[in-house]
Structure 1
């Protein structure tokens, strides 16, 4: 059956591996890749000889850019250029070296890309999803906040009100790399909270899953880090893939593709640790927090984002 999957974070890293595998294993899939214009050459390489791929330009730090991309997808679906939509893969993520980087909409950039962009994309496209449909959001085991899951490299999440997390300077010493990494682990905790809330709200036949690739050195996630950290991630830490402590981009990408393609059986709302259903952190199960976060991100993305408004106070 011909079908469409919309994917972010498909031009490099584990997303690129996953995209190649999806296209190879499901010839009927038309992959719509949302990425910056600067990624056009990588997307073209993905399309060459590997099936149907469409690049739609989107800057995930801009809510208006995401809206325009969705409008284009809707027009192509309505015009018959794209087959029915059955999947959304929110794989893109960012980790800044501070919590002072602000988007054009006035949000802290890590929260904007890792939380708000996914929410807006899912909420806008969800009415177009055909059952059985599947939404997969890439998260991270850094949300556990312990040495077992992050090897001491990323501080654990520090939860605050969504209004505070959405703004720059949410964590102490906001100019530091440590603050940026706290924002990252906290954003991934927020993403898991929202997966639980989506699972309660999405219509029957549309599942949503949180996918944890594990520690994957050798990707560009740390591209904004200091030179030593970038060197370690690209040249030193990949040796850990020879141990159970880390996965290679190839392995993590294969796991992601398997989740997207339904090879991993999981109930909606599940947390998939690499290739199996597992339990996320105890902190990630908090219905009151999940409901509060849903209301806040819905307001940020659909009800105005004035930084001086009531929603962003707290």
Structure 2
């Protein structure tokens, strides 16, 4: 039976690889690619495009509403999957959306929340929501090799604004915003697992350290050189994951080949525990409430 998979972050890197695997392994899939420019991402097969800037609340709300309306009109087959693979990391904690939301939080947390809340009742029977997170949320040497600072949790209202972390003009602050946003994403996924209708599974997917993707595109010249030329060697060690493998693992999580109950954290190809800090019902509830307020912002203000 034909069905729809909506995916962000399919333009490059592991998302592109995962999308190609999904289309190949599931020929009944109609893939809706959400991208800034559809010209950047041309696939063969049954694919359509919705243009969105994930750093704009207005643009994300418009894209999600367009997909919902196309489902309601029957222009798209029934919805089965949402894949929130897009992510961003900045070299500061000063970059913000047009609505004044800190950019890392907007793209890595709120954009997914808008799509989930807009489409959650459009899933036809069973479905699966998969959001790409990061093992940087552990905040220890084993998981981040000292390259990314630990998450620094604060109230969601603070995290959603710039200057949430010390020395916000520095790369360290930008990377702290990144690891904290990935912890926030896991909190929301736990809350979705409690709130969404039975039959819609919610999974956090960690690809591990994947050098050679576009995540560092906002970094300085030295960091970009290291990511392109030096760190890819780590993909062939236990510390890293080759992007071909990471993309295939993501596709397997989406299609259900990797067994994982709702609320699970999948590390590459295996369901396991996320960090101890990531299980906190109070923070999860507070973040849900804050995300609900933020995505309902009156954009006319």
TM score, norm. by length of structure 1? 0.94
Unaligned runs of 5+ in 1: 308-314
User: Counterpart of 1:41?
Assistant: 39
- 2:68–2:118 contact (8 Å) kept in structure 1: no
Q: Relative to structure 2, which stretch is displaced further, 234-243 or 15-24?
A: 234-243
- Partners in 1 of 2:69 and 2:39 — Cα distance? 24
- Partners in 2 of 1:298 and 1:266 — Cα distance? 27
- Partners in 1 of 2:129 and 2:220 — Cα distance? 34
Instruction: Give deviations 1:89-126, integer Å, cap 9, x for gaps.
Output: 00000000001001111100000100111111110011
Unaligned runs of 5+ in 2: none
Shift of 1:306: 9.7
- 2:58–2:299 contact (8 Å) kept in structure 1: no
Task: Tell me the secondary structure at the aligned position of residue 221 of structure 1.
Answer: helix
User: Counterpart of 1:246?
Assistant: 240
- Partners in 1 of 2:290 and 2:75 — Cα distance? 35
- Partners in 2 of 1:27 and 1:81 — Cα distance? 18
Shift of 1:232: 0.6
TM score, norm. by length of structure 2? 0.98
- Partners in 2 of 1:114 and 1:202 — Cα distance? 20
Task: Tell me the secondary structure at the aligned position of residue 41 of structure 2.
Answer: helix
Q: 1:209 aligns with which of 203, 209, 222?
A: 203
Q: 1:187 aligns with which of 163, 173, 181?
A: 181
Residue 86, structure 1, aligned to residue 80, structure 2:
yes
Task: Tell me the secondary structure at the aligned position of residue 239 of structure 2.
Answer: coil
User: Counterpart of 1:162?
Assistant: 156
Instruction: Give deviations 1:264-296, integer Å, cap 9, x for gaps.
Output: 111100000000001000000000111011000
- Which runs of at least 4 in structure 1 moved beyond 4 Å after TM superposition? 303-307
Q: Which residues of 2 match residues 208-247 of structure 1 at below 5 A?
A: 208-247=202-241
Q: 1:300 aligns with which of 283, 294, 300?
A: 294
- Partners in 2 of 1:129 and 1:235 — Cα distance? 42
Task: Tell me the secondary structure at the aligned position of residue 199 of structure 1.
Answer: helix
Alignment length (residue pairs): 301
User: Counterpart of 1:311?
Assistant: none
- Partners in 1 of 2:164 and 2:185 — Cα distance? 17
Shift of 1:302: 1.8
Shift of 1:243: 0.9
Task: Tell me the secondary structure at the aligned position of residue 271 of structure 1.
Answer: strand
Shift of 1:71: 2.3
User: Counterpart of 2:261?
Assistant: 267
- 1:211–1:271 contact (8 Å) kept in structure 2: yes
User: Counterpart of 1:4?
Assistant: 4
User: Counterpart of 2:23?
Assistant: 23
- 2:90–2:104 contact (8 Å) kept in structure 1: yes
- Partners in 1 of 2:40 and 2:256 — Cα distance? 26
Task: Tell me the secondary structure at the aligned position of residue 112 of structure 1.
Answer: helix
Q: Relative to structure 2, which stretch is displaced further, 68-77 or 159-168?
A: 68-77
